Amino acid sequence: MGFPSDFVWGSATSSYQVEGGAFEDGKGLSVWDNFCKNSETIWRSQNGNTACDHFHRYKEDVALMKELGHKAYRFSINWPRVLPEGIGKINKSGLDFYSRLVDELLNAHIEPWITLFHWEYPLELYYKGGWLNPDSPDWFAEYADVVATHLSDRVTYWMTLNEPQCFIELGHRNAHHAPGVMLHQKEVLLAGHHSLISHGKGVQAIRAAAKRDCKVGMAPAAFPRLPVSSSEDDIRIAYDVTFSVPKPDGWNISWWLDPVFLGEYPEDGLELFGPDLPPITPEDLKTISQPLDFFGANIYTGHYVKKGEHGNPVEVQDKPGCDITMLYWPVVPEVLYWAPKFLYERYKLPIVITENGMSNTEWISLDGKLHDPQRIDFMARYLKEFAKAGDDGVAIMGYFYWTLMDNFEWARGYRERMGLVYVDFETFKRTPKDSAYWYRDVIRSNGEILFKD
């Protein structure tokens, strides 16, 4: 019972959310730099220009992770920091920043896990059409090649895209995120298809450039359905709904991941999208379905379903007063049991939870500490469910808490605090929360303290 001995324990961040240094050292602009300039959708018009100032304080942050017992750190590369125009000219000092970060991590015995794209699309390429441009997969492959060429002598673990569902839907359909446009269905589907081809070409580029054995995956969002009971009927219904494409938008799993892992778009989606579909060639699907080494999944919450009278799925409403986080996401620990089980059954790769965590409203107490018992409880409940999935035969490979430190939570600005470490956004002082020390002890015991009474 419990976690495998080589289980990967860490936490995650993304570049725009923590780095700052938005206009420094030859970095080009991303769609997020631009979007935050005059966005009315962002809480109190905040931005990530300075964020946690990790760009200047990365050494302190790595030392903190070491103190907190981290075995691994998932972070992302800011594309236009490396290639200011997205393609072509390389910004050497941008690359050097990531190279120094990698060295610092390795010296601290922390394994770097790199995400290539966590939403900082280069503005120059966006002006050329962004994901709508049929050349966009080649642009991404060029970027992947540059990063892998420079860092793969020391980095083993790679992820191409973070949550294609979110950057396509929130950024291109409802203008809630950068680049903040509202495209038509046909264009949204085309942009999504190009993003998946980019993933495939990115995987090829990483493998071709890799100077050491590399492990490659993706970090999609997972929106699972859970069975309301343990009856076989409810379980099957929950599985089927989890992998269905019920609505004409991209908030699902299978539209994005069946092509990647099974080499084809799901039938129900093809039928639903019909005349709006982009041309999809067998060659595209071959590129998209590159073999991968692990299944990364960002999982926070889930919703229950049951089998209705006529065999149909019935959504179960959240109970009034149910436990929710500050993002208004219901607290559903069982999701870390059912989602890994379903994902493993369908896609058959070891599961890494690339994100899981909770936001809250928090402040430092009079004693100078930050007490966050709810986060400890949240993590304990979710981790125990994940271990249970492992006991039931799912290959569980790792867990990255989202997030290392409080940071810029996209449209919600600095309103949400999700970190293990509290950040004062005026002084940039870091204060590890109670949960950070508790998590350190979980890591030290390889999860065993979770099962002590």
Least Cβ distance, residue 416 to ligand GCO (angstroms)? 7
Q: Which is nearer to ligand GCO, 234 or 406 (CB)?
A: 406
Q: Which is nearer to ligand GCO, 152 or 195 (CB)?
A: 195
Could you tell me whether strands 72-76 and 351-355 are parallel, antiparallel, or unpaired per DSSP bridges?
unpaired
Report the chain's terminal Cα–Cα distance, integer Å: 15
Site mask for ligand GCO (CB under 6 A), range 98-127, x = bound: ------------------------------
Residues ≥6 apart with Cβ < 8 Å to 325: 300, 331, 358, 359, 360, 378
Residue type, 249: D
Q: Which is nearer to ligand GCO, 51 or 237 (CB)?
A: 51
Site for ligand GCO in 82-101 (CB under 6 A): none
CA 193 – CA 288 distance, rounded (Å): 9
Pick the closest to residue 73 from 109, 113, 37 (CA basis). Answer: 113
**Which tokens sit at 282?**
């067998």
Q: Which is nearer to ligand GCO, 298 or 435 (CB)?
A: 298
Q: Which is nearer to ligand GCO, 12 or 305 (CB)?
A: 12
DSSP secondary structure, 38-93, as one string: S-SSSGGG--SSSTT-HHHHHHHHHHHHHHTT-SEEEEE--HHHHSTTSSSS--HH
The piece of 3-11, 62-70, 158-166, 188-196 that touches ligand GCO (CB under 6 A) is 158-166
The piece of 62-70, 161-169, 334-342, 430-438 that touches ligand GCO (CB under 6 A) is 161-169
Contact 125, 139 (CB under 8 A): yes
Is 355 among the residues that bind ligand GCO (CB under 6 A)?
yes
In order of 81, 159, 195, 219, the CA distances from 76 in angstroms are 11, 9, 17, 11
Least Cβ distance, residue 402 to ligand GCO (angstroms)? 5
Active site amino acids: 163, 355
Least Cβ distance, residue 449 to ligand GCO (angstroms)? 26
Is 166 among the residues that bind ligand GCO (CB under 6 A)?
yes
Least Cβ distance, residue 163 to ligand GCO (angstroms)? 5
Exactly one of 3, 7, 14, 189 binds ligand GCO (CB under 6 A); that residue is 14
Least Cβ distance, residue 359 to ligand GCO (angstroms)? 7
Contact 204, 290 (CB under 8 A): yes
Could you tell me whether strands 421-423 and 396-402 are parallel, antiparallel, or unpaired per DSSP bridges?
unpaired
State phi, psi for 418 to the nearest 5 degrees: -115, -5
Least Cβ distance, residue 138 to ligand GCO (angstroms)? 25
Exactly one of 386, 402, 438, 439 binds ligand GCO (CB under 6 A); that residue is 402
Is 15 among the residues that bind ligand GCO (CB under 6 A)?
no
In order of 25, 112, 114, 120, 371, the CA distances from 12 in angstroms are 24, 10, 10, 16, 21
Exactly one of 112, 210, 409, 443 binds ligand GCO (CB under 6 A); that residue is 409
Count of chain residues binding ligand GCO (CB under 6 A): 10
The piece of 160-168, 258-266, 275-283, 305-313 that touches ligand GCO (CB under 6 A) is 160-168
CA 169 – CA 159 distance, rounded (Å): 20
Is 162 among the residues that bind ligand GCO (CB under 6 A)?
yes
CA 254 – CA 232 distance, rounded (Å): 22
CA 281 – CA 270 distance, rounded (Å): 13
Site for ligand GCO in 253-312 (CB under 6 A): 298
Q: Which is nearer to ligand GCO, 39 or 298 (CB)?
A: 298
Residue ranges binding ligand GCO (CB under 6 A) = 14, 17, 162-163, 166, 221, 298, 355, 402, 409
